[in-house]
Chain A
Amino acid sequence: GAGVSQSPRYKVAKRGQDVALRCDPISGHVSLFWYQQALGQGPEFLTYFQNEAQLDKSGLPSDRFFAERPEGSVSTLKIQRTQQEDSAVYLCASSLGELEYNEQFFGPGTRLTVL
């Protein structure tokens, strides 16, 4: 069956450009998460949606980062005025419910390189 998909898989941006990263979760999954993974590190939480509501954005590193999920399915992570320190793999995950022991299904990630 279809898993979580992310696009693009790779993105190269010049410093100062805006980028938009897309996540297509598994159909029917209520919860959606964005994580950032720097090279050689474990993923770090950015933000969480339950349906269309953004319930937690405590992990967003600055106000240049913005995420939305307007219809409760597809989500977009937008980074404005990209900086070199934004270079990382951005992972999206979805889960069926909102319970803490629900399995999260991850996409393959988008590797962002800011030159």
Chain B
Amino acid sequence: DAKTTQPNSMESNEEEPVHLPCNHSTISGTDYIHWYRQLPSQGPEYVIHGLTSNVNNRMASLAIAEDRKSSTLILHRATLRDAAVYYCILRRLSGSARQLTFGSGTQLTVLP
């Protein structure tokens, strides 16, 4: 699978929007962009995924660049419960690998 690059850490103030960037310059046309997050002492949880178009769900929005070489996870109003490690992961359609390949992710700190 193609590699992703994320900042090691970011800070946000509570109730402000947060934009978490991810670079994936070697993405292929059949790679889905997935985001998972891991709260302290818990297993990862799915946040959102997309292929080409921007996506919204109750947790977040995913903005995908037109060339698909980067994407941004948007938390519209950060809360203290959003403090977690956020992972940007590419998953290839019809690839042989079914597993998620996690990088080191972005540690998000939310300040009260």
User: What is A's interface to B at a CB cutoff of 8 Å?
Assistant: 4, 31, 33, 35, 41-45, 48, 50, 55-56, 59, 91, 93, 98-101, 103-109
Contact = CB atoms under 8 A, between A and B. Distances in A.
Given A101-B91, A101-B93, A105-B45, 12 more contacts: A42-B87, A43-B100, A45-B100, A56-B97, A93-B44, A93-B100, A99-B93, A100-B94, A101-B34, A103-B49, A106-B43, A108-B41
B43 A109 contact: yes
Interface in B53-112: 85, 87, 91-95, 97-105
Interface of B: 32, 34, 36, 41-46, 49, 85, 87, 91-95, 97-105
25 contacts: A4-B43, A33-B99, A41-B104, A42-B87, A42-B103, A42-B104, A44-B102, A45-B101, A48-B98, A50-B98, A56-B98, A56-B99, A91-B43, A93-B44, A98-B98, A100-B93, A100-B94, A100-B98, A103-B46, A104-B46, A104-B100, A105-B45, A106-B42, A108-B42, A109-B42
Nearest to A49: B98
Contacts, number: 66
A60 to B, nearest CB: 12
